[in-house]
Structure 1
Amino acid sequence: MKRRLFLSLATALPALGLGRARAQDAPSFTFPSVDGGEYDTADWRGRPVLVVNTASLCGFAGQLADMQAVHDTYGPRGLVVLAVPSDDFNQELASGAEAKDYCELQYGMTLPMTDILHVAEGEVHPFYAWLRAQTGFVPQWNFNKVLLDPQGRVLGTWGSFVKPGGRQIIGAAQPYLS
């Protein structure tokens, strides 16, 4: 029987041991929801999860529509799509509430969205610190994608030019969809 490791934001990095994680280490992370409350990746165990760092004012913002289409098409089959707004590249609106309103109005987004977080610089969210320790991947720009398997392990990472609904991502998620 596999043991789940639940970590809070304050304990995530030390629990990983010197910032390095082994492939079998698949901790759970909590993300602050833009709507209040939080998302806990433990609630999504058994489902693949696509995490995308977003920015409302980025030239790649059209991918928000693609993220919603992926959510609409593959969500019923088990795929979770999580938008993580970040201003690390100076292209996000002033608040999470503004980003949410913009995404809803411009792209009809209804998928889970976090509050604005650091993903590449400053005090990065523990998920992104774990991702860096696990794979060496650090978002180099907005709209970088990370696909997790149903146990929370990294299946793949992609840069801005790969669309959320692209064959690379959907192909990697396909074996885990119902």
Structure 2
Amino acid sequence: MNALPALSLSLSLSLLVLFGGQVLAAECPTLLQHELPKLRSKETIDLCQRFAGKPLVIVNTASHCGFTPQFKGLEALYKRYQDQGLEVLGVPSDDFKQEAATSEETATVCYVNYGVTFAMTQPQHVTGDKATPLYKELIAQSGQSPRWNFYKYVVDRQGKVIAHFSSLTKPDDPDLLKAVEQALDSKP
């Protein structure tokens, strides 16, 4: 018998025990291979570290938009499914000329006015040539660029976009909830 396969199996089992029985992903999905600056912080959000293996709703936001009250529904969605692993990432953007002039004002709208507890980034470009690499990948996978603020992408545990929804789709819309539940049921 060749000793190498037995050693490899032993090492793999040891690593599983060492990491609490969790299987670690060999590679982070392309979608998540980015870091974005965190809102009201000097820190960054390492998307792989924070979201790999988790279902995710990514939404571009704006502080002064008719859809801004959707923050309340997004927070409710996050709270409803958080214990099942759902993450929400808000990405403020002024691409549609409705974001606050400063990050502090953006943070006040999110955290004070709407009580947001899910992850929020500093304002980013989400459309066109200047779009952040995260959004370029969302657009490539879905075939759809955000047409306005509060455009929503649902991403499964493998980092694949499984659905996208217009700004008109509220966070409690049955079709959006169905996509979120599908993402929750996906295998890492």
Determine the structure 2 residue equivalent to 1:164: 171
Q: 1:121 aligns with which of 113, 119, 128?
A: 128
Q: Percent identity?
A: 36
Which structure is higher in RCO with an 8 Å CA cutoff and minimum separation 6? 1
Q: Cα RMSD over matched residues?
A: 2.0
Q: Specify the alignment match of 1:63 in structure 2.
A: 70
- Deviation at residue 104 of structure 1 after TM alignment: 1.8
Radius of gyration: which is bigger? 2
* Alpha-carbon distance change, 122 to 91 in structure 1, aligned in 2, over 3 angstroms: farther
2:142 to 135, 139, 147: 135
- Which consecutive unaligned segments of at least 5 residues does structure 1 have? 7-24
Contact persistence 1:26–1:151 (CA under 8 A)? no
SS in 1 for 2:140: helix
The SS at the match of 1:31 is strand
Paired position in structure 2 for 1:92: 99
SS, match of residue 177 in structure 1 = helix
1:108 matches 2:137 = no
1:48 alignment counterpart: 55
Q: Distance in 2 between matches of 1:96 and 1:58?
A: 16
Matched residue count: 160
TM-score where L is the length of structure 1: 0.82
TM-score normalized by structure 2? 0.78
* 2:27 counterpart letter in structure 1: R
On the 8 A contact 1:120/1:128 being kept in 2, the answer is yes
Distance 1:26 1:122, change over 3 A: closer
Q: CA deviation at 1:36?
A: 2.5
More helix by share: 2
Report the Cα offset of residue 169 of structure 1. Answer: 1.8
Once residues 66 and 41 of structure 1 are traced to their aligned partners in structure 2, the CA distance between those partners, rounded to angstroms, is 23
The one-letter code matched in structure 2 to 1:77 is Q
Moved more, 27-36 or 65-74: 27-36
Q: Give the AA of the match of 1:39.
A: I
Q: Which residue of 2 aligns with 1:83?
A: 90
CA–CA separation in structure 2 for the residues paired with 1:88 and 1:38: 21
Matches of 2:165 and 2:118 in 1, distance apart? 20
